[in-house]
Homo-oligomer: A and B are copies of this chain.
């Protein structure tokens, strides 16, 4: 365990050191961690000796029976038997739901999963989501991402069915049919954990869904939910800091309208390349604010606002913004965000198909300027980049969400929705108890997926308490398992 913790600490340092490059779009990143371009090999090498990597021969298409549906691909999963009580003791199997990321990363970032497993003598299984990491249909990422025909099998329903098939096969080979399975996941992985419990209750006995915005779909959550929480995070950290940011957009517009405006802004914001539009700058800044509010790594909210506020009320508003910015991201030049969709970015495909999360805001409801969600333009981009049209209304039909309390109060059980109210994604999360065993555990201070992260000695009491409650609830579930 010590060795593993060291690995994780090493990784966290790497993460923190590189997270400036991590942000590739002003659209918020739905991930337990942001999508920084790490080398996968780096992670593989860091996996401790208790982690074993396997491949499962997975069916390409579970729901159709065309000849191509029978094709297979190698789905990666990682197991750790260190704590497992074995197949004869009904020790649980904890399954970490791979999400939009290389599965080996999840091993490092989600140390709480190891705590849970050790607490209950559980087997640890991390399953990679299709089309991420090495779990590529058609042999390689290049082929898998080639076009909409090959990407076409990349859906959450197929991923859930992958998990169902792999777990069933695994239990059989381990003679562990009677072991309860508990699914754990964060962010999109938490959505998958929820849906897995709801759609495959015969395979998974309970789910811990951390920071899972299962309600962030059309018609379920106000589109400004995310931006409102980002704004509140800054406002509650420092009202003057919040005001600085809110004013800065208009000052950017004003400067841009002057001679050499863009050039001056480029200098002012130390952009690596000259700005082409003010929107580039605005998107970049927004993306950084989102990042700070969502993850709050290293207390970056306070870092930003302290540095900004320290300059005093009389200082030029854009200087205050840059002071905050530099305090968090350092003095390196500012890489301007590419707002567009990327053909190589799996989550963009998912956003363009069924995981369409409408995000925008109106006038004066946030610290940002108005920018309503524009499905028409988004659709155009998706068609251009992927040749695919978003199914805006599909996810709530397939996975539910409308009137969730009424629907699930008499249906379903054993789901924990954990959230931190400072996580902008909590706006699409479940924040109320739905029944005795579908419960919400949230903290006022928490950010995105903090409960799943590797516990450290400096964790605040409320975070320790949140994890303790989660363990207690899982304990109750397992005690009731026949």
Contact = CB atoms under 8 A, between A and B. Distances in A.
Nearest to A437: B410
Given A67-B387, A411-B413, A202 B155 contact: no
Interface string A365-394: 000000000000000000000011101011
A149 interface: yes
Interface stretch (A41-49, A57-65, A237-245, A323-331): A57-65
A392 to B, nearest CB: 13
Contacts of A200: 400
Interface stretch (A110-118, A161-169, A276-284, A442-450): A161-169
A174 interface: no
A62 B62 CA distance: 12
A65 B400 contact: no
Contacts of A354: 65
Contacts of A413: 410-411
Query: Which applies to chain A's interface (DSSP): helix, strand, loop or mixed?
Result: loop
B164 A398 contact: yes
B152 A65 contact: yes
A234 interface: no
A216 to B, nearest CB: 16
B65 A403 contact: no
17 contacts: A61-B63, A62-B63, A62-B157, A63-B155, A64-B64, A65-B154, A65-B155, A66-B152, A67-B148, A67-B388, A198-B201, A200-B400, A202-B402, A202-B404, A406-B482, A410-B437, A411-B412
Interface of A: 61-67, 69-70, 148-149, 151-155, 157-158, 161, 164-165, 168, 177, 198-203, 353-354, 387-389, 391, 393-394, 396-398, 400-404, 406-408, 410-414, 437, 480, 482
Contacts of A165: 397
Contacts of A158: 63-64
Contact of A412 (B153, B201, B437): B201
Given A62-B63, A64-B158, A66-B149, 16 more contacts: A63-B155, A64-B64, A64-B152, A65-B354, A65-B391, A69-B152, A164-B398, A168-B393, A168-B397, A198-B201, A199-B199, A200-B400, A201-B411, A201-B412, A203-B400, A412-B412
A62 B394 contact: yes
Given A201-B408, A202-B403, A389-B70, A153 B64 contact: yes
B67 A201 contact: no
Q: How many chain copies does the complex carry?
A: 2
Contacts of A400: 200-203
B63 A203 contact: no
Contacts of A203: 397, 400
Closest A-B pairs by Cβ, 5 of them = A66-B152, A202-B400, A201-B411, A65-B353, A63-B157
Contacts of A398: 62, 161, 164
Contacts of A201: 198, 400, 407-408, 411-412
Contacts of A414: 410-411
A174 to B, nearest CB: 16
Contact of A64 (B155, B406, B437): B155
Given A201-B411, A202-B402, A411-B412, A66 B164 contact: no
A217 to B, nearest CB: 12
A177 B407 CA distance: 13
A154 to B, nearest CB: 7
Contacts of A157: 62-63
B61 A64 contact: yes
A354 B437 CA distance: 33
A461 to B, nearest CB: 33
Contacts of A406: 482
A265 B353 CA distance: 62
Nearest to A481: B406
A201 B149 CA distance: 32
Contacts of A403: 202
Contacts of A177: 402
Contacts of A387: 67
Contacts of A391: 65
